């Protein structure tokens, strides 16, 4: 028996297995898809992640049924927290959804594939290199895709800039229009406080070839996380100028800002 | 180098006279396992003439076989004697074998000579075997690369320049001489009985190197499926460039495990380290110029070939790995 089969047998409960079996994924005969997603690894990780999700971050979700049960969907959220914890929590919340669970695919920054172990691990649990070609193919195959249009500008920002949305790329609106895909805005509250950074050591980051090296506590803090899923936004596929597309980007940004404000109001305290 | 005597024009002509009047196919790379599988699929329906620039291969009494350097004038005598109807070009010196110059001469200039002769003698069906390596292995590769993607392999290493050049050359002839009906096939990793490429050797071993922390997604096509694909492309003769890969994927280190092969981790950071290790240790089975293909995925999209030619790979991954498990017993 391979290590993976052993871990799956030991860790994955029959209930979780049954829940995840409901999700249809276009994988090959040995459980992999072309982006490296692996059903068994995913089940093991989700079973290990259950406690982190429920007990450590005590995640609360609102409006999760705004993500359609099937068909392509772009889940657009604010990015924060140095590590891709926010994407993992959104993905877990949808895989764990009682009605019509889904495995959404998170688009990750371009430097992750170059990091040993982490790049492969992220691929095996469904994350994908944030490339427009990858995203377009996933939408064509009716997948739900998580995109953080702020990219590293969002994840690498300092604690003093928390909950201030950085510049959004416009690629996701072009993709939504071209592939006739609804955009589900998500406001993530809590991840800003998981790894609060006070500075970024840019020269070291440059030397190591990574986007940022934060000055932060060497720990992930147990901040309470609230995920607010907004109503789907549909954009017609019209021939627009880049300025008109930017206006559509701003519309999504404004929806996310509203959801963040709602989450901050709902929160009783950072760690409560 | 073998000391096989060069074929004389008289001998070629005498053999050609004996050959039957069926449509005649020139198959290059006859010493390779893939060419022999392709020949098995075509024999009976076609008169086959086999050539190889590496060694003389005896196939059977009804298949004339020659060891010829494509750059020598005697190669043209074959075209004069046999009046070929089609050419299946599978012969090439693998990356890492011989010197770069000799590989360039054989693979690029040799192919140019072959295509020039094909044009001169009015051949209307040419199949050229390329490789997915031409796309290059980069951290920024999207998955399911289609045929329009740029060929970036030459950026990574000088050792793959001839593979890219061969492709570029075939592409130029494809558009310049539409009457040649050139079909370029870019298969994923060809594996299975008799295949002696890098990946097949790695799967055959009981221990094989793997880069620590990297296990890229790979695609494998069974040699029998690839031979079917070539026979199909030859039969239908539709010009263009096509990826050939089944719709199945597996991570490299998982593939080694399925083949009962233990991965031996090679330090992967900083990137110069694995290259230095393979060079210093002269690890021929894990060549430094292919290191990136064991680090980053190059997943190609074979859909266009499947749709255009009605191709479907029949041998699943489990059957491929069963073969590699059994050869170890």
d(CA B305, CA B311) in angstroms, rounded, equals 7
Q: Are A91 and A126 in contact (CB under 8 A)?
A: yes
Burial (CB count <10 Å: 0-12, 13-18, 19+), residue B246:
buried
* Alpha helix (H) residue ranges in chain A: 3-11, 14-21, 39-51, 85-95, 118-124, 132-140, 152-155, 171-178, 202-208, 242-266
Confidence of residue B3 (pLDDT cuts 50, 70, 90): very low
- Residues A132-178: tens digit of each pLDDT: 999 999 999 899 999 999 988 888 888 888 999 999 999 999 999 99
Given the cut 0.90, state whether the ipTM is greater than it: no
Name the pairing type of β-strands B86-89 and B126-129: parallel
Helix (H, G, I), strand (E, B) or coil at B211: strand
Q: Could you tell me the CA-to-CA distances from A138 to A26, A146, B232 in Å, in that order?
A: 11, 11, 30
Residue found under tokens 């492969």: A120
**B217 — contact with chain A (CB < 8 Å)?**
yes
Confidence of residue B17 (pLDDT cuts 50, 70, 90): low
For residue A24, give every residue at least 6 positions away whose Cβ sits within 8 Å of its Cβ, in sequence order, or none: none
Report whether pLDDT(A251) > 60.
Answer: yes
Confidence of residue B14 (pLDDT cuts 50, 70, 90): low
For an interface test with A, the pick among B132, B139, B262 (most A C-beta atoms closer than 10 Å) comes out as B139
Q: Give the whole-number percent of chain B exceeding pLDDT 90.
A: 70
Within 13 A of A33's CA, how many CA atoms are on the CB side? 25
The mean per-residue pLDDT over the stretch B231-235 comes to 97
A32 and B247 in contact by Cβ < 8 A?
no
The mean per-residue pLDDT over the stretch A30-49 comes to 92
Q: Are A96 and A136 in contact (CB under 8 A)?
A: no
Name the pairing type of β-strands B240-244 and B126-129: unpaired
Q: What is the pLDDT of residue B157?
A: 72
The full length of chain B comes to 329
Report whether pLDDT(A186) > 50.
Answer: yes
Our CA dihedral for B166, B170, B176, B180, rounded to 10 degrees, sits at 150
Confidence of residue A213 (pLDDT cuts 50, 70, 90): confident
Q: Which residues of A touch B (CB under 8 A)?
A: 2, 28-30, 32-36, 38, 110-111, 113-120, 123-124, 128-129, 131, 133-134, 137
Report whether pLDDT(A198) > 60.
Answer: yes
Min distance A5 CA to chain B CA atoms (Å): 12
- Residues A60-77: tens digit of each pLDDT: 999 999 999 999 999 999
Q: Are B141 and B296 in contact (CB under 8 A)?
A: yes
Q: What is the pLDDT of residue B120?
A: 96
For an interface test with A, the pick among B146, B254, B262, B273 (most A C-beta atoms closer than 10 Å) comes out as B254
Burial (CB count <10 Å: 0-12, 13-18, 19+), residue A86:
buried
Range in A18-27, A243-252, B176-185 the model is least confident about:
A18-27
Name the pairing type of β-strands B217-218 and B250-251: antiparallel
Residues of A whose CB is below 8 A from B297: 36
Geometric angle at alpha carbon A221, from A216 and A225, rounded to 5°: 125
Nearest CA to A187 out of A151, A130, A225, A143 is that of: A225
Report whether pLDDT(B2) > 50.
Answer: no
Q: What is the pLDDT of residue B6?
A: 62
Mean pLDDT for all residues in chain B = 90
- Residues A88-115: tens digit of each pLDDT: 999 999 998 988 999 999 998 888 888 8
Report whether pLDDT(B164) > 80.
Answer: yes
- Residues B196-210: tens digit of each pLDDT: 999 999 999 999 999
- Residues B93-138: tens digit of each pLDDT: 776 677 888 888 888 999 999 999 999 999 999 999 999 999 999 9
**B265 — contact with chain A (CB < 8 Å)?**
no
Question: Is the preceding peptide bond at A168 cis, omega within 30 degrees of 0?
Answer: no
The mean per-residue pLDDT over the stretch A214-230 comes to 91
Q: Are A193 and A221 in contact (CB under 8 A)?
A: yes
Q: Give the whole-number percent of chain B exceeding pLDDT 70.
A: 95
Report whether pLDDT(B19) > 90.
Answer: no
Q: Could you tell me the CA-to-CA distances from A20 to A43, A90, A138 in Å, in that order?
A: 7, 16, 19
Find residues 49-108 of chain B whose CB sits inside 8 Å of chain A.
none
Q: What is the pLDDT of residue B1?
A: 39
d(CA B12, CA B84) in angstroms, rounded, equals 14
Counting one residue from A and one from B, how many pairs have CB atoms under 8 Å apart? 78
Q: What is the pLDDT of residue A206?
A: 82
pTM, entire model: 0.89
Q: Are B231 and B42 in contact (CB under 8 A)?
A: yes
Name the pairing type of β-strands A214-216 and A197-200: antiparallel
Q: Could you tell me the CA-to-CA distances from A231 to A5, A73, A182, B146 in Å, in that order?
A: 40, 12, 9, 35
Confidence of residue B314 (pLDDT cuts 50, 70, 90): very high
B217 and A36 in contact by Cβ < 8 A?
yes
Our CA dihedral for A173, A178, A179, A181, rounded to 10 degrees, sits at 40
Q: What is the pLDDT of residue B271?
A: 81
Confidence of residue B159 (pLDDT cuts 50, 70, 90): confident
For residue B29 the two structure tokens come to: 């790379």
Helix (H, G, I), strand (E, B) or coil at A52: helix
Nearest CA to B180 out of B189, B188, B170, B190 is that of: B170
User: Which neighbouring-strand residues pair with A107?
Assistant: A128
**B303 — contact with chain A (CB < 8 Å)?**
no
**Higher-confidence position of A39 and B2:** A39
Q: What is the pLDDT of residue A216?
A: 83
Report whether pLDDT(B5) > 60.
Answer: no
């Amino acid at each position: 028996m391979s290590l993976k089969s052993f871990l799956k047998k030991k860790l994955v409960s029959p209930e979780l297995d049954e829940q995840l079996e409901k999700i249809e994924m276009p994988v090959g005969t040995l459980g992999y898809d072309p982006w490296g997603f692996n059903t068994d690894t995913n089940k093991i990780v989700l079973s290990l992640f259950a406690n982190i999700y429920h007990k450590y971050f005590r995640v609360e979700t609102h409006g999760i049924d705004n993500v359609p049960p099937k068909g392509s969907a772009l889940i657009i959220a604010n990015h924060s927290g140095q590590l891709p914890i926010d994407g993992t929590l959104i993905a877990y919340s949808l895989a764990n959804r009682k009605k019509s669970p889904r495995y959404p695919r998170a688009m990750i920054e371009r430097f992750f594939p170059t990091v040993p172990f982490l790049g492969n691990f992220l691929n095996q649990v469904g994350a994908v290199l944030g490339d427009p070609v990858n995203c377009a193919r996933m939408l064509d195959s009716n997948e739900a895709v998580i995109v953080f249009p702020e990219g590293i500008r969002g994840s690498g920002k300092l604690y003093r800039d928390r909950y201030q949305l950085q510049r959004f790329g416009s690629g996701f609106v072009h993709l939504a229009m071209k592939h006739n895909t609804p955009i589900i805005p998500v406001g993530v509250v809590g991840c800003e406080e998981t790894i609060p950074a006070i500075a970024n050591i840019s020269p070291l980051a440059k030397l190591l070839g990574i986007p940022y090296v934060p000055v932060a506590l060497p720990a992930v803090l147990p901040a309470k996380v609230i995920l607010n899923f907004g109503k789907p936004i549909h954009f017609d596929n019209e021939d627009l100028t880049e300025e008109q597309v930017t206006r559509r980007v701003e519309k999504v940004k404004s929806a996310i800002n509203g959801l963040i404000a709602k989450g901050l109001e709902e929160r009783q305290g950072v760690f409560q | 180098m073998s000391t096989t005597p060069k074929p004389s024009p008289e001998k070629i002509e005498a053999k050609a006279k004996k050959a039957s009047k069926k449509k005649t196919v020139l198959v290059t790379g006859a010493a390779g396992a893939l060419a022999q599988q392709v020949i098995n699929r075509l024999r009976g329906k076609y008169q086959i003439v086999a050539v190889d620039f590496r060694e003389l291969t005896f196939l059977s009494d009804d298949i004339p076989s020659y060891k010829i350097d494509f750059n020598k004038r005697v190669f043209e005598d074959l075209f004069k004697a046999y009046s070929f109807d089609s050419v299946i070009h599978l012969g090439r010196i693998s990356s890492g074998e011989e010197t770069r110059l000799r590989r360039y001469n054989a693979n690029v200039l040799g192919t140019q000579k072959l295509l020039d002769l094909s044009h001169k003698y009015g051949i209307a069906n040419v199949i050229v075997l390329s490789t997915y390596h031409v796309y290059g292995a980069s951290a920024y590769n999207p998955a399911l690369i289609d045929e329009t993607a740029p060929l970036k392999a030459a950026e990574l290493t000088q050792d793959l320049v001839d593979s890219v050049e061969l492709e570029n050359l075939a592409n130029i002839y494809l558009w310049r001489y539409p009457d040649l009906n050139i079909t370029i096939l870019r298969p994923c990793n060809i594996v299975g009985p008799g295949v002696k490429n890098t990946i097949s050797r790695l799967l055959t071993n009981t221990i094989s190197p793997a880069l620590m922390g990297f296990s890229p997604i790979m695609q494998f096509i069974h040699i029998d499926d690839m031979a079917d694909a070539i026979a199909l492309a030859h039969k239908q003769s539709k010009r263009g460039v096509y990826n050939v890969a089944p719709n199945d994927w597996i991570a490299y280190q998982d593939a080694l495990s399925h083949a009962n092969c233990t991965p031996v981790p090679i330090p992967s950071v900083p990137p110069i380290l694995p290259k230095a290790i393979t060079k210093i240790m002269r690890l021929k089975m894990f060549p430094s110029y292919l290191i990136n293909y064991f680090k980053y995925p190059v997943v190609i999209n074979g859909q266009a070939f499947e749709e255009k030619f009605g191709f479907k790979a029949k041998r699943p991954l489990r059957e491929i790995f069963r073969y590699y498990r059994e050869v170890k017993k």
